[in-house]
């Protein structure tokens, strides 16, 4: 229906513009996916990615650090493309694409084609999405599942209470919640945020008493139940780790002033980290947009669907802001919030001045993404090569080649069985991935936090007396102490010298190899911290 005073054909023009904006949004989405593919080709696998690949070789209902979602995606990819870089990353990449499409559909549903276009542009310009989703980490399936869950919740709100259509969409939302929980424990923020959005908006509160949302919650818990049972069987290791990892204060003087200063420091670092993930201008605009949407929700104004999305954004930020009062919060932890934030940002009413700042924010974000791409291709930033985070992915083929040469030499000298080990999970998983034949590599983990390797058979559980050990670890004081301690359990020990990891001409890391011959069978030096 054409509004009074509208010129003839105004409705057709709006429909045409909406369709054009939607097509452009899809083009931007595909372009962003192409950029991530380029980065995937430029950057070798980082240690965390090879660590998650290791999980796929020992399938289980869950793992120490995270639920099995990322392992499932990597398994899917390697079944198609083999145990290669592309195989490891293709599954998470497809999940990221599906999640991005769900966000565009959600934004279009609330604000039309123009909102979908703004959402697509924001995703393309945010380092979090443009670069962060390149890696095979639990964030990829988490963000995809949260995005699909929000899309389903928006659909559910559009249908009458207790209708079959509403219940059906709540079932979809519940399954998405289950998939999110199977990806990362922070997914619990999705149902909590939806509930908060319903509670804040007086027009939605009655829906909390409907049958549909609780059906969704039940389906989500059912999907997550294998993780619960796995933890129960092993004494709740993953739940305990996450509680310590996210909530325990570390190294803080108990004095009031020290606690206060530490909290302020953590909060400042949290804000700075978020600005780095999404660009400073977009972060400020997101904060304003969420506050505006929450104000509308409390007043019962604006779009009800946006109220729910804003509730999810607020919940994620609030939880990690509270956590930062006790301990440092890693920059990527609030990532689920941005799934909701970009939709809120794209669907609030902006003034002309705000729109100009939105464009500036996108350009600044695009510039940051450009620097990331350049750094991935060529080291352009004026930083020490050993401090380059991308440097952690480079040089492992050379390390694997040197390790292979050392193992061959040990066999030639009389070692019938040479076991290879490192100390931390990072070096262990990179060696396992890059060594010829991808053998089992042991993580001794004598000076690091507990991880998944501690739940698998250890060297002392697998090896037999007389076996030899090739120990390859960072060339530092801690690992040197470990190596010296290992010597007591073997008949002979030899320092084989350093191994350099290089990115081009730059040394980005140094390791050292030790040869230990003829294990005595004494497990104490290998299994004690």
What would the 3-class secondary structure string for 267-287 be?
HHHHHHHHHHHHCHHHHHHHH
**Cα-to-chain-centroid distance, residue 204:** 32
State the pLDDT at residue 268.
86
Confidence of residue 529 (pLDDT cuts 50, 70, 90): low
Distances (CA, A) of 71 to 21, 54, 56, 123, 437: 36, 9, 5, 25, 20
State the pLDDT at residue 527.
73
State the pLDDT at residue 4.
45
Q: Is the CB of residue 92 less than 8 Å from the CB of residue 137?
A: yes
State the pLDDT at residue 254.
62
- Pairwise CA distance, residues 83 & 56, whole Å: 10
Q: Is the CB of residue 513 less than 8 Å from the CB of residue 471?
A: yes
3 state SS of 456:
coil
Confidence of residue 436 (pLDDT cuts 50, 70, 90): very high
Distances (CA, A) of 89 to 32, 103, 190, 391: 16, 21, 25, 18
Confidence of residue 379 (pLDDT cuts 50, 70, 90): confident
pLDDT beyond 50 at 3: no
Confidence of residue 159 (pLDDT cuts 50, 70, 90): very high
**DSSP-assigned letters across all residues of 62-88:** --SSS-SHHHHHHHHHHHHH-SSHHHH
- Span 15-27, average pLDDT: 90
pLDDT over 90 percentage in the chain: 65
- Span 166-178, average pLDDT: 96
**Which range is least confidently modeled, 94-103, 203-212, 419-428?**
203-212
pLDDT beyond 90 at 247: no
Please say whether the dihedral angle defined by the alpha carbons of residues 67, 129, 328 and 375, taken in this order, is positive or negative. Answer: positive
Q: Is the CB of residue 444 less than 8 Å from the CB of residue 423?
A: yes
Q: Comparing C-alpha atoms, which of 179, 171, 185 is closest to residue 218? A: 171
Most confident range (mean pLDDT) of 243-257, 289-303, 417-431 is 417-431
State the pLDDT at residue 524.
85
State the pLDDT at residue 253.
55
State the pLDDT at residue 419.
96
Q: Is the CB of residue 521 less than 8 Å from the CB of residue 452?
A: no
Confidence of residue 374 (pLDDT cuts 50, 70, 90): confident
Residue 382 CB neighbour total at 10 angstroms = 5
Which distant-in-sequence residues (6+ apart) come within 8 Å of 410 by Cβ?
Answer: 418, 468, 470, 515, 517
State the pLDDT at residue 10.
58
**Which range is least confidently modeled, 56-70, 369-383, 464-478, 483-497?**
369-383
> What are the pLDDT digits (tens) for 387-399?
888 899 999 999 9
**Which range is least confidently modeled, 7-11, 172-176, 436-440?**
7-11
- Pairwise CA distance, residues 74 & 172, whole Å: 24
**DSSP-assigned letters across all residues of 49-65:** HHHHHHHHTS--S--SS
- Pairwise CA distance, residues 49 & 45, whole Å: 6
**Cα angle value 185/365/386 (rounded, 5°):** 70
State the pLDDT at residue 1.
31
State the pLDDT at residue 412.
95
pLDDT beyond 80 at 227: yes
């Amino acid at each position: 229906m054409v509004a009074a005073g509208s010129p003839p054909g105004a409705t057709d023009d709006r429909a045409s513009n909406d369709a054009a904006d939607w097509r452009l949004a899809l083009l931007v989405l595909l372009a962003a996916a192409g950029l991530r593919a380029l980065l995937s080709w430029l950057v070798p696998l980082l240690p965390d990615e090879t660590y998650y690949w290791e999980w796929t070789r020992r399938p289980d209902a869950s793992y120490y650090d995270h639920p099995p979602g990322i392992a499932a995606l990597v398994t899917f990819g390697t079944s198609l493309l083999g145990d290669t870089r592309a195989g490891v990353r293709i599954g998470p990449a497809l999940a990221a694409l599906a999640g991005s499409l769900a966000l565009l559909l959600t934004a279009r549903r609330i604000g039309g084609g123009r909102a979908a276009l703004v959402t697509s542009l924001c995703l393309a310009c945010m380092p979090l999405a443009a670069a962060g989703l390149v890696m095979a980490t639990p964030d990829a399936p988490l963000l995809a599942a949260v995005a699909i869950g929000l899309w389903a919740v928006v659909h559910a709100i559009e249908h009458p209470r207790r209708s079959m259509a509403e219940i059906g969409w709540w079932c979809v939302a519940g399954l998405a919640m289950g998939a999110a929980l199977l990806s990362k424990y922070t997914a619990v923020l999705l149902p909590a945020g939806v509930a908060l959005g319903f509670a804040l908006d007086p027009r939605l509160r009655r829906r909390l008493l409907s049958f549909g949302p609780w059906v969704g919650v039940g389906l989500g818990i059912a999907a997550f139940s294998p993780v619960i049972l796995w933890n129960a069987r092993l004494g709740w290791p993953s739940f305990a780790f996450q509680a310590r990892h996210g909530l325990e204060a570390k190294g803080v003087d108990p004095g009031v002033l020290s606690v206060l200063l530490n909290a302020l420091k953590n909060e400042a670092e949290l804000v700075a980290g978020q600005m780095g993930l999404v660009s400073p201008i977009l972060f400020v605009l997101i904060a304003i947009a969420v506050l505006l949407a929450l104000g509308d929700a409390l007043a019962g104004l604006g779009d009800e669907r946006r109220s729910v999305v804003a509730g999810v954004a607020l919940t994620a930020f609030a939880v990690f802001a509270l956590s930062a009062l006790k301990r440092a919060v890693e920059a990527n932890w609030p990532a689920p919030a941005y799934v909701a934030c970009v939709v809120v940002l794209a669907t609030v009413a902006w003034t002309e001045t705000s729109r100009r700042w939105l464009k500036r924010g996108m350009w600044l974000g695009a510039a940051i993404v450009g620097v990331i791409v350049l750094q991935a291709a060529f080291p352009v930033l004026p930083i020490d090569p050993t401090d380059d985070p991308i440097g952690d992915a480079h040089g492992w083929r050379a390390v694997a080649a040197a390790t292979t040469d050392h193992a061959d030499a040990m066999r030639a000298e009389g070692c019938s069985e040479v076991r290879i080990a490192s100390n931390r999970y990072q070096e262990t998983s990179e060696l396992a991935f890059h060594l010829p034949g991808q053998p089992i590599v042991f993580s001794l983990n004598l000076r690091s936090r507990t991880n998944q390797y501690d739940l698998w058979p250890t060297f002392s559980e697998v090896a037999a007396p007389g076996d030899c050990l090739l120990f390859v670890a960072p060339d530092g004081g801690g690992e040197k102490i470990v190596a010296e301690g290992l010597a007591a359990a073997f008949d002979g020990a030899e320092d084989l010298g350093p191994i350099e990891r290089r990115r081009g001409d730059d040394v980005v890391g140094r390791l050292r190899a030790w040869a230990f011959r003829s294990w005595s069978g004494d497990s104490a030096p290998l299994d004690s911290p």
